[in-house]
Structure 1
Amino acid sequence: MASASGEEEENAAELKIGEEFLKAKCLMNAEVALILEKKYDQLQQASEDASSQVSQVFERSLQYVTRFSRYKNPDAVKQVRDVLSRNALSEFELCVIGNLCPDTAEEAKAMVPSLKHKGRGLDDEKIDKMLNDLAVIRKFE
């Protein structure tokens, strides 16, 4: 749908999220947690009092992504990205599914409506297989 200025409106359900977002690399919460934990460890090693080196925003960001990360093990995080990347998902779709961990194809399509579009090669059977692969990774975490 075009606005009066001729620009398309953004709509995540249809993957109309803006050119800059379509090209951007998205990170799942678990990936951000790994990055922030590594940075926190580096700050701890560099200073006796790591808390003096860490801003409140950094600390709260780390707490948030740690709390909402479904995967803690770095190998599991890599496996999740590999499984999702094999299924021709956009970065946005990959991160939503990786963060929210739906159990069924129906649930995944409710969370990420762009999965419903025909012609992508993602039928319910393929989506369920992908979600089952993620469940196995979570189970052995």
Structure 2
Amino acid sequence: MAERRSNHKRNGKAIIGSSSEYENEVELVEFPPMPEDEEAKEEFELPPGAKLLTDCEASDVLLRMKKELDSLEEPNIKIPIAFSSTLEHTTKVVVQYTDVKSIKQALESLKGICTDWEICMIANTCPGTCEEAYALIPSLKKKEEWIEEPLIDVLSTLAKFRVKD
């Protein structure tokens, strides 16, 4: 008979295990409610020390971690399946660019004009034109008057480093 899995809450902890046993307890994390204002939704507070990463930055971090783990000749260290599948996904499916440093440098010119969230979305969605960027990231449309020229420059630079299909 298959064991029924369920999640329960007891004393502020998430209980993950069978319906009759509570062997795995995980501390619940309370996230602040999302603001109602449309612009504020884009800029919700990240935990202290957290940083938004583009897909190519995340892939780069995972690749460096993998190299470090591989260089350790410690037989007791086992790489979790989730890490391996995430690494495979980011390197084969998600990554759109060939040179992370050049992408970061190109996106820097949007600092002060765009929010960090918008900059990440520009990198991750890979729009080909300003109009496409405005459609994918509606908050940019409000900044169209002063963002168009730097956005054109950034998009043309990003296009140079896009992975060819």
TM-score normalised to structure 2 length: 0.65
Aligned to 1:113: 138
Aligned to 2:36: 9
Alignment of 1:87 onto 2:87 = no
Q: Name stretches of at least 5 consecutive residues in structure 2 with no aligned partner.
A: 1-33
* 8 Å Cα contact 2:55/2:124 also seen in 1: yes
- Describe the shift of the 1:116–1:21 C-alpha distance in structure 2 as closer, same or farther (beyond 3 A): farther
* 8 Å Cα contact 2:62/2:87 also seen in 1: yes
Aligned residue pairs, count: 127
Q: Which has the higher helix share?
A: 1
Distance 1:30 1:45 in 2: 23
Where do 4+ consecutive residues of structure 1 move more than 4 Å? none
TM-score normalised to structure 1 length: 0.74
Secondary structure of the structure 1 residue equivalent to 2:147: coil
Structure number with larger C-alpha Rg: 2
Distance 1:139 1:71 in 2: 5
Which amino acid is 1:137 matched to? F
Between 1 and 2, higher relative CO (CA 8 Å, sep ≥ 6) is seen in 1
Q: Name stretches of at least 5 consecutive residues in structure 1 with no aligned partner.
A: 1-6
Distance 1:95 1:107 in 2: 15
- Describe the shift of the 1:49–1:99 C-alpha distance in structure 2 as closer, same or farther (beyond 3 A): farther
- Describe the shift of the 1:10–1:63 C-alpha distance in structure 2 as closer, same or farther (beyond 3 A): farther
Percent identical across equivalent pairs? 31
Post-superposition CA distance 1:59-96 (Å, at most 9, x none): 11111211210124xxx211111211212322111111
**Cα displacement (A) at 1:21:** 3.7
Distance 2:83 2:160 in 1: 32
**Cα displacement (A) at 1:120:** 7.0
**Cα displacement (A) at 1:119:** 7.5
Secondary structure of the structure 1 residue equivalent to 2:45: helix
Q: Which has the higher strand share?
A: 2
- Describe the shift of the 1:63–1:49 C-alpha distance in structure 2 as closer, same or farther (beyond 3 A): farther
* 8 Å Cα contact 2:97/2:163 also seen in 1: no
Aligned to 2:88: 63
